[in-house]
Structure 1
Amino acid sequence: MELTRRELIAAFLGSAVAASACQRSRPRETVPGAVVDRALETGHRLRGGPLPRAEGAEPVEVLIIGAGVAGLSAAWRLAGAGVKDVRVVELEDEPGGTSRSGKNAVSAFPWGAHYLPAPLTEQGAVLRLLREMGFVTGMDAGGYPVFPEELLIREPDERLFYRGSWYEGLYLRAGASAGDLAELARFEARMNAFAAARDAKGRKAFAVPTALSSDDAEWTALDAVSMAQWMEAEGFRSARLKWLVDYACRDDYGTTAEGVSAWAGIWYFAARQDGRGERSEGFLSWPEGNGRLVRQLLGALDPRRLERHVLVHTVEPGEDGCRVEALEAGTGKPRAFQARQVVFAGPRFVAAHVVAPWRQQRPAWMGAFSYGPWVVANLTLSSPPQSRGFPLAWDNVFYESRSLGYVAATHQMLRQDDAGPTVLTWYLPLAGLDVKAERERVLAAGYEDWERLVMADMLPAHPGIAGQAQRLEVMRWGHAMIRPAPGFMWGPARFAAQESLGRTLHFAHTDLGGMALFEEANWFGVRAAERVLGALGRPSTSWL
């Protein structure tokens, strides 16, 4: 049964958005555009019957399967060790995974991750990458890296839309009671204490990446309950604070506080600070988002060693290497590689269909991995949207919507005239706990549905936006983000999945870290590459 406009909006964005949007009129013309993702149908060929095998096999020293951030980080680390015979194969048109970006005549823009929190340490692979890019100018008196002003998100950085007006920041202070503000202060004090906590070995209780966090039971026990349960047990009941925590969980994990472990929920607020409160230089961003970091990682790889449109369907590990069977996605031509070492840099749900031993006997831990779908849309406007209240910011959030609002891609361009055209990147995590049902909803909706949803979400905050809209492009991510459900971060499944198969097949992906974040992908990519170096008899000082 076809949904009415109001029913569609309510189903995806909530009844408040539906009621508000349907009270306002807009031109009947649909904003021109398209759904631009194309890999879903190709990737689903893995679910079919046996695929053809090639007769011969191309020899290669190291084959990396997947050119997302984890795979490119592995290639970057191997290049740093002088390994030349590295091949990277990727199914899609463009490398980068959920950190890829696009560009039009107005601006570059992200198709997923759009910022990198500024590292708090002078060590680690992420800071090494930023140093390579010339983005670390020194260290401050407190021992923190210093970054160029033009990379730090310029003010205004965040605003919140509520009942007809925009307000500064992400906590709704307008109309907050004394009790609301007291509860916020108590929550912030608890998060600061978690951020300052160290174990007997000097490890942070909550660290970036998660692998560097303390494994003391005092903190890991928090993984057994949801963030919503922890909030209730601690007496945090203010609706405004619960909204903020729920937004944080949807933002980083793609689901609500009910579906996120308390350890992961606290990590969001505590891991990227030192216990003395929020650091002002918190985020680095570019118009293309983390696509800028992808470009730097790609620079370490000979372009001839990256092959696009290659669908890997079988990996057979052996004592002396792995045989990898693949298809050219466009032609269906079978390909095969014989690699001394393989890094599988894709998610576990793909590995279950590709790694031959797992296809024959599914590992017990596989069912613990759950991935939430997202939709990202880039809307090009002839001029910035008009607003009431606090002015246009980098991050613009709708309090009463299930979306995350939008990021202004042109915010970091530092133009003298901010009246020109702009691109707004809109984000919608499908946050329901039934991920299969959410995925089906994403794939069932067509372009006209998404156009209605994006414009309905924008319309209450920007009544004239329909006349400014020039083009809308939509990308669906069916398995965008690993979800750190209760029991997952410190349960046995995640750690079992991190182990190599023999000495020839290694794994790298954000899902191994339990969080779909650049730092996790980079860490596991570098770690897999260093396992490869060890297996090749070329160990070196770790970048981790």
Structure 2
Amino acid sequence: MELKRRELIAAFLGSAVAASACRKRPPRAPVPGGLVDRVVDEGHRLRGGGLPRTAEAQPVDVLVVGAGAAGLSAAWRLAAAGVKDVRVLELDTEPGGTARSGKNAVSAYPWGAHYLPAPIEDKGPVMRLLREMGAVTGVDDGGQPLFDEELLVREPEERLFYRGEWYEGLYLRAGASEQDVAELERFEARMNAFAAARDGRGRKAFAVPTALSSDDAEWTALDKLTMARWMEAEGFRSPRLRWLVDYACRDDYGTTAEGVSAWAGIWYFAARQNGQGERSEGFLSWSEGNGRLVRQLVSSLPAGQVEPGVLVHSVEPGEGGCRVDAVEAGTGRPRAYRARQVVLACPRFVAAQVVVPWRQRRPEWMGAFQYGPWVVANLTLSEAPASYGFPLAWDNVFYESRSLGYVVATHQRLLQDERGPTVLTWYLPMAGLDVKAERQKVLSADYGEWEGLVMADLMAGHPGIAAIAQRLEVMRWGHAMVRPTPGLLWGPERQAAQESLGESLHFAHSDLGGLGLFEEANWFGVKAAERALKGLGRTVPSWL
């Protein structure tokens, strides 16, 4: 049994965590909890086909399929344009997708994305949304937006656990050699230069969202090689710097520098700063993470417009619109719609099963899209955990683990010396290059195994955490986010995937931007909505 436990921990979290976890410790009681993901089985019904249909189709002006960040952004744009006959159908029991959140008696907490980098420019649909939320307080003398201080992540922001002690920041400076520090400084200078770079039309080489970036070959050629290969070619060999870059790729893209294009790897460090290493005002965060953005989008829509528990299985473009077939997830009762315009806000692998012409002939570009699995766990504690070294921060990372560590849901409201109850949100991107094998690992582990993995990881930095653990809930995301593999971001496949099918079927999802981020989902949701508005014969100023 002990050998199996060590092997399990090593397979998911690495040998260093396994060695630490399997040292002799007093026995502990398992933390009560369970697996909370619910849509895996329902979603897999799309593969089997044979779902029921009904002859009677309800007419609707615009049907939005999917209530993740992209679908809700599309509905938000349509509502602002005054389109009232809109339906939003969502398979899950609540909206949000990977930006959704949960809540218990202690705190709200994220089930996926947990922050939004503060935009460095005062334009675009994300800024419009933040203004609607009251998050923006003005602009500075340089024209950069200013944000409500209560929403900006307070200090300490980040810390790193290494060999028994916590250290400030995400770069391991303790024990760093002169060569390590010199490489870090040279790397930062290169990233600053990339951030400041502009093309002949004044476009940033690396911009947010990716659609605003320069398409000059000088920059897009970086998409053809991996970030790891670029680092090697540039002479960046410091293990500490390589760890930092690997962490960045796992954090935003769910895989290592070996699986991410150099353009995407550089984008992480360059797109959200001003060319001098400054990230505007930092990060915007809420206890529920990006669930707060979801809540704002939903609140902008008429009551009842978002309908959960509906599995859309067929979208067929035709004369004057699309026929859409669905079943109620709970009852299996069939539904049908005749929509003048459709926004299909789901990832490409789902669209391949839903769009009727694509079921009959799969587009050649579909194979370019890969999706990495993630696991997110929320652990409720009776008090904040004790630790040795730098104090508890918002983001807490384990240097020798394959996890991303955890964020503290109550960080914004707790003072450093308070030790009240809290919720830790733990993240594990399954970063292996074989996404099918990684997905199988995620779905094959039961709650008891996940409980052991989460606690093994956390106990390394907090030996007494088991005594204050109250409940653990685990969410498995089988296809959490698209991976920006070499060639995807600036290859023809992603561009082809963005095109509408006929005049009535439009697509929206973060994967169309090649990065699984809120800014991309929001951009493509608004873009698809504006195409639908054009299809309805409405002329409106663009928000993009």
Question: Is TM > 0.5 for Structure 1 vs Structure 2?
Answer: yes
Structure-1 residue corresponding to 2:461: 461
Structure-1 residue corresponding to 2:23 = 23
In the alignment, the residues of structure 2 paired with residue 220 and residue 421 of structure 1 have an alpha-carbon distance, to the nearest angstrom, of: 48
Amino acid across the alignment from 1:428: L
Aligned to 1:170: 170
* Counterpart residue type for residue 475 of structure 1: M
Q: For the Cα contact (< 8 Å) 2:28–2:466, is it kept in 1?
A: no
Map Cα deviations across residues 165-190 of structure 1 (whole Å, 9 max, x no partner).
00000000000000000000000000
Deviation string, structure 1 residues 170-226 (Cα, Å, up to 9, x no partner): 000000000000000000000000000000000000000000000000000000000
Cα distance between partner residues in 2 of 1:460 and 1:377: 17
Q: Could you tell me whether the CA contact under 8 Å between 2:392 and 2:416 is conserved in 1?
A: no
One-letter code aligned to 1:527? K
Equivalent positions of 1:130-529 (< 5 A) are: 130-279=130-279, 281-414=281-414, 418-529=418-529
* Displacement of 1:5: 1.0
Alignment-derived partner of residue 107 in structure 1: 107
Moved more, 529-538 or 189-198: 529-538
Q: CA deviation at 1:142?
A: 1.6
Q: Which amino acid aligns with 1:319?
A: E
CA contact (8 A) 1:319 1:503 kept: no
| Percent pairwise identity | 77
Unaligned runs of 5+ in 2: none
SS in 1 for 2:79: helix
- The alpha-carbon deviation at position 417 of structure 1 amounts to 6.3
Q: 2:220, 2:490 within 8 Å by CA — same for their partners in 1?
A: yes
What is the match of residue 91 of structure 2? Answer: 91
1:460 match: secondary structure:
helix
* Shift, 1:418, TM fit: 2.0
Structure 1 CA distance, aligned partners of 2:536 and 2:330? Answer: 34
Shift of 1:319: 2.5
Q: Give the 3-state SS of the residue equivalent to 1:4 in structure 2.
A: helix
Q: Residues 379-406 of structure 1: CA distance to partner in whole angstroms, max 9, x if unpaired?
A: 0001111110000000000000000000
CA-to-partner distance for each residue in 1:437-495, whole Å, 9 max, x for gaps?
Answer: 00000000000000000000011110000001000000000000100001110000000
SS in 1 for 2:346: coil
Residues in 1 aligned to 2:409 and 2:54: alpha-carbon distance in whole angstroms: 44
Alignment deviations for residues 337-370 of structure 1 (CA, whole Å, 9 cap, x no partner):
1100000000000000000000000000000000
Instruction: Give how far 1:24 is off.
Output: 4.7
Contact kept in structure 1, 2:150 and 2:412, CA below 8 Å: yes
Matched residue SS, 1:257: coil
How far does residue 278 in structure 1 lie from its aligned partner after superposition?
A: 2.4
CA contact (8 A) 2:273 2:280 kept: no
How much does 1:3 deviate? Answer: 6.8
Structure 1 CA distance, aligned partners of 2:85 and 2:387? 54
Once residues 331 and 537 of structure 2 are traced to their aligned partners in structure 1, the CA distance between those partners, rounded to angstroms, is 38
> Contact 1:120–1:273 at 8 Å: present in 2 too?
yes
Look up the SS of the partner of 2:460 in the other structure.
coil
Q: Is the 8 A contact 1:24 1:460 kept in 2?
A: no
Cα distance in 2 for partners of 1:453, 1:486 equals 31
In 1, Cα distance between the equivalents of 2:336 and 2:60? 11
Q: Higher mean Cα deviation, 45-54 or 81-90?
A: 45-54
Q: Secondary structure at the match of 2:236?
A: coil
Alpha carbons 1:24, 1:459 under 8 Å: kept: no
Distance change (3 Å), C-alpha of 1:92 and 1:163: same
Judge conservation of contact 2:152–2:284 (CA < 8 Å) in 1: yes
SS in 1 for 2:461: coil
| Contact persistence 2:381–2:422 (CA under 8 A) | yes
Q: CA deviation at 1:300?
A: 1.5
Q: Secondary structure at the match of 1:166?
A: strand
Aligned length: 544
CA contact (8 A) 1:66 1:91 kept: yes
- Cα deviation digits, residues 142-164 of structure 1 (max 9, x gap): 21100011110000000000000
SS at structure 2 position matched to 1:137: strand
SS in 1 for 2:25: coil
Q: Is the 8 A contact 1:26 1:466 kept in 2?
A: no
Distance 1:276 1:538, change over 3 A: same
- Do the aligned partners of 1:323 and 1:338 also contact (CA within 8 Å) in 2? yes
The answer (yes or no) to whether the contact 1:370–1:483 under 8 Å persists in 2 is yes
Decide whether the 8 Å contact of 1:380 with 1:424 is kept in 2.
yes
Distance 1:58 1:152, change over 3 A: same
Listed one character per residue, the Cα deviations across residues 314-346 of structure 1 (whole Å, up to 9, x for unaligned) are: 000012010000000111101101100000000
Q: Separation in 1 of the partners of 2:3 and 2:64?
A: 44
Relative distance call for 1:341 and 1:419 in structure 2 (3 A) is same
| 2:53 equivalent in structure 1 | 53
TM-score, normalised by the number of residues in structure 2 = 0.99
The Cα offsets for residues 109-157 of structure 1, whole Å up to 9 and x where unpaired, read as 0000000000111110000000011111110112110001111000000
Matched residue type, 1:520: E
Tell me if structure 2 keeps the 8 A contact 1:72–1:298.
yes
Contact 1:106 1:423 in 2 (8 A): yes
* Alignment map for 1:26-41 (pairs within 5 Å): 26-41=26-41
Describe the SS at the equivalent of 2:53. coil
Q: Report the AA paired with residue 457 of structure 1.
A: D
Residues 196 and 274 in structure 1, CA contact (< 8 A), matched pair in contact too: yes
TM-score normalised to the size of structure 1?
Answer: 0.99
How far the C-alpha of 1:28 sits from its partner, in A, is 3.2
- Contact 2:119/2:280 (CA < 8 Å) preserved in 1? no
Equivalent position SS for 2:481: strand
CA contact 1:375–1:476 (8 Å) conserved in 2: yes
Distance 1:354 1:176 in 2: 52
Instruction: Give the deviation of 1:268 after TM superposition.
Output: 0.2
CA contact (8 A) 1:319 1:504 kept: no
Q: Shift of residue 239 of structure 1?
A: 0.1
Write the distance in 2 (CA, Å) between the matches of 1:200 and 1:415: 48
Contact 2:205/2:214 (<8 A) preserved: yes
What residue identity is the alignment partner of 1:185? E
Q: Secondary structure at the match of 1:222?
A: helix
